[in-house]
Structure 1
Amino acid sequence: MTSKNVQTVRLRDVIGPAFYETHRQINQGLIDEAVEKGGRASLKSSYVSVEVILQLIHHPDCHALVCRQVADTLRDSVYAQILWAIDKLGLTAKFRCTQSPLQCTYLPTGQRILFRGLDDTQKIKSIKLPFGYIGVLWFEEADQIKGGEDAVRNVQQSALRGGEFGLTFISFNPPSAARNWANKYALVQRPGKRVHHSSYLEAPPEWLGPKFLAQAEYIKETKPTKYRHEYLGEAVGNGTQVFDNIRLEELSAKRIRSFGDALNGVDWGWYPDPWAFNRCAYDAHARTLYIFDELTRLKTNNQDTAKLVMQRIEGWETVTADSAEPKSCGDYRDAGIRCREAVKGPGSVTESMKWLQGLSAIVIDPRRCPDTAKEFSEYEYETSREGEVLPGYVDADNHHIDAVRYATNRLWTRRGT
């Protein structure tokens, strides 16, 4: 723990094991933002509420601000959650919590935990503190925030001012639609930002109880899609997504080395369409495709992209590229790359897309391949004005999808030799 006041409480008794690593990185000053997403009963809100208090005590000159989209939902959600955390940490006598105004004050220092709805941003701009600054922010149910990332950034700019320490928590249950801002935001990587996914499967069973676990198993057996969304926290889509077999999963270097020879693909581009490269591996027994490397470039000539590719592949490996540009394929061969032109023809797009859709899983490392993860997650069928799904595949925002189709060309067509 981070304070003498809570030393008697064991960390394992208040924080689920899935969150130990986030807690460690925060305490070591490695991150300034923790994105905690996951399914029902994953314990993410419980963890964040505990961490808010621990960091408040650890930084006695700062205060905390907890936000949801609608102010009327604060008292029965995040306020109640903070009260729970205070009790679990054995600090009830150290806090004064009131409902008018809605806030909790740490009595030894006068630090405050404030609660505000984002439906009235003026109340955030007008916050007055007795001393210090706001150093901890928590956006709960972030997927419901109107204005998305811009709204979060505006609050950060207004609130996180005047102090050396700043930490933001963003927590949510991933909505079905991959295009929701929170799902898209979780795919974006940057130094200091940790994105972590959790589910009830990582929680101590005794914390959840037999009734919850039995209900989860029942839903798993009877409504598997509902189970994946609500209990595992997967963005299963709203019916228009092309790929419903995507798994976003970080792959270690050791795991990648175990794949053996890679499948490499290139989709030619310049501007505004980018040049795209992907590196994959296929497990035929499990019918699973792993995508673990990417490159994306604009306005970059063939000679320069060839150099980039040669730095990513082994000398004996083949790169399969779009045959629509035979000159570009020739440029790669001149550069020393074993570049093969993809075998295409009438119906090849449909053939390859159905092959990808029919796999048991397409596993994409979102840290190594953020552009690829974004494309596959957001790729949807076109719909009519009445909302009906139209046949065919949209030829837009699919550059890495195409690169993966070319990389796997030999697998989905028997004509590839």
Structure 2
Amino acid sequence: MTRLSQVIAPSFKEVHKDLKNDGHTHYWLSGGRGSTKSSFIAIELILGIMRDPNANAVVLRKVKDTLKESVFDQLVWAIDVLGVEQYWHIPDAKLVITYLPTGQQIRFRGADKPKKIKSMKFARGYCKFIWYEELDEFTGMEEVRMINQSLMRGGKKFTVFYSYNPPQSANNWVNAEKLLSREDRLVHHSNYLSVDPEWLGEQFIVEAEHLKQTKPKAYEHEYLGEVTGTGGEVFDNVKIKRITDEEIKDFYNIKRGLDFGYAIDPVSYPVMHYDRKKKRLYIFHELYKVGLSNRSLYEHIKEENKDNDFITADAAEPKSIHELRQYGLKIRAAKKGPDSIKYGIKFLQSLEAIIIDDIRCPETAREFLTYELEKDANGNFKADFPDKNNHSIDAVRYALNDEVMKFKEHEQKKSDPDNPTPQEKHAKAIKKITGGKPQVNAFRKW
């Protein structure tokens, strides 16, 4: 058999060790062109099945028609390069590869209809290995979870590979998911610079260098696998971080917001601390649920908000606000007014950091990480912020309503210094009446 150092790039050495030690369940391998991530996974799959007599594998791509000339051929290459072709049966037509000594199999499936991917029975063992190739082609993590729940049955140890070239947009679900915390996940990134040039060929290097010189941004994305952004990202100040109980005890400026929902849209109730001096927002609690009654919502808030501090809610639901007041909550409607969404989001963009604990607040983290401007038919970004997948974002805006109103006045003053705010007009009128003396003198004069 071939030595592994001859077929696995040095950048994957630590990942290989982790696999041997059963270090993680989920392996997220991202990279640019020529990073050899798919080659590495193919080799590990073949070796893993040959080492474990109960291991089988299912390899997936979003579209079934792309399987034969991608992952299937990649695994045939791995069998050949390892020098073990005599142990494997590779049919010309059928999408299955069989390990001859035991009958273990590698099966291939398209995820065009993920609900049809059900638990699979194997003549021997169970589905230990799963490989999602071109992960970004899948519609989202919900689709992937549905498939995993079907396949990850009947065994004690599972290994799931996810390989992809990072999409350009920082807000793409794959890039956002990669940032979220999960202890059983190993995240690895690679590019062609860590690969022996002889493996790639001279022309590959020539093309990469040419793009580097002529279109450096495209080079960074395509060859280095970097997330360069599309320009439509709304929040570039989001930081995913665990917020400890000790930190929460020291928070002093707690804000609570509420965006109502029921049948289709979820109710969103985030709790946060706003550090006005440092311009940092810490989001550390969320309720995010569809089909929740106002009574159940009250019970949750009563338990979380033990001092019954004020909550700022969506003004579009006066009936729900009234009902929650009847239960005893201190709750007020957010002041909206013209361009309230625009100024609310611009205020959040102006913060130094929006720090979200994704373990405590997974849906809030997802919304902030994936919120992006939409494009029109000509491919240009629309001016308005999209009104979808933003329930937590709206609730955060409501929670910070007072800060947003101050920000709005300040921004309007900057854009039109000759048009004073109502407060400034009032102060100027009082000054004119009193001649600069305290306001009480004005009434004496009148």
Q: TM-score, normalised by structure 2?
A: 0.61
In 2, the alpha carbon distance for the partners of 1:299 and 1:146 equals 24
Report what 2:129 is aligned to: 136
User: Deviation at 1:295?
Assistant: 1.0
Percent sequence identity over matched residues? 28
The alignment covers a number of residue pairs equal to 384
In 2, the alpha carbon distance for the partners of 1:225 and 1:291 equals 35
Matched, 1:265 2:257: yes
In 2, the alpha carbon distance for the partners of 1:411 and 1:244 equals 18
Match of 1:72 among 55, 63, 69: 69
Report what 1:89 is aligned to: none
User: Deviation at 1:244?
Assistant: 4.2
User: Deviation at 1:305?
Assistant: 1.1
Contact 2:257 2:312 in 1 (8 A): yes
Change over 3 Å in CA distance of 1:80–1:396 after alignment to 2: same
Report what 2:402 is aligned to: 410
In 2, the alpha carbon distance for the partners of 1:52 and 1:99 equals 15
Matched, 1:277 2:277: no
SS of the equivalent of 2:292 reads coil
Contact 2:371 2:390 in 1 (8 A): yes
In 2, the alpha carbon distance for the partners of 1:206 and 1:384 equals 40
In 1, the alpha carbon distance for the partners of 2:307 and 2:371 equals 33
Q: Deviations over 1:180-225 (max 9, x none)?
A: 67568779999xx955544459xxx98899xx9xx9xxx8xx9689
Contact 1:275 1:399 in 2 (8 A): yes
Report what 1:343 is aligned to: 335
Change over 3 Å in CA distance of 1:46–1:156 after alignment to 2: farther
User: Deviation at 1:280?
Assistant: 2.6
SS of the equivalent of 1:413 reads helix
Gaps of 5+ in 1: 1-5, 7-12, 87-91
Q: TM-score, normalised by structure 1?
A: 0.64
Change over 3 Å in CA distance of 1:80–1:303 after alignment to 2: same
User: Deviation at 1:170?
Assistant: 2.7
Contact 2:35 2:194 in 1 (8 A): no
Report what 1:63 is aligned to: 56
In 2, the alpha carbon distance for the partners of 1:386 and 1:404 equals 32
In 2, the alpha carbon distance for the partners of 1:73 and 1:44 equals 13
Change over 3 Å in CA distance of 1:334–1:38 after alignment to 2: farther
Q: Deviations over 1:286-319 (max 9, x none)?
A: 6543433221234434342122123334527543
Match of 1:389 among 356, 381, 397: 381
Write the letter of the residue equivalent to 2:406: R
User: Deviation at 1:401?
Assistant: 1.2
Report what 1:249 is aligned to: 240
Contact 1:160 1:166 in 2 (8 A): yes
Higher helix share: 2
In 2, the alpha carbon distance for the partners of 1:407 and 1:229 equals 40
In 1, the alpha carbon distance for the partners of 2:248 and 2:89 equals 56
Change over 3 Å in CA distance of 1:18–1:168 after alignment to 2: closer
Contact 1:375 1:398 in 2 (8 A): yes
Q: Deviations over 1:73-109 (max 9, x none)?
A: 347755556778x6xxxxx6898578776998878x5
RMSD: 5.6
User: Deviation at 1:360?
Assistant: 4.5
Write the letter of the residue equivalent to 2:394: D
Matched, 1:293 2:290: no
SS of the equivalent of 1:271 reads coil
SS of the equivalent of 2:304 reads coil
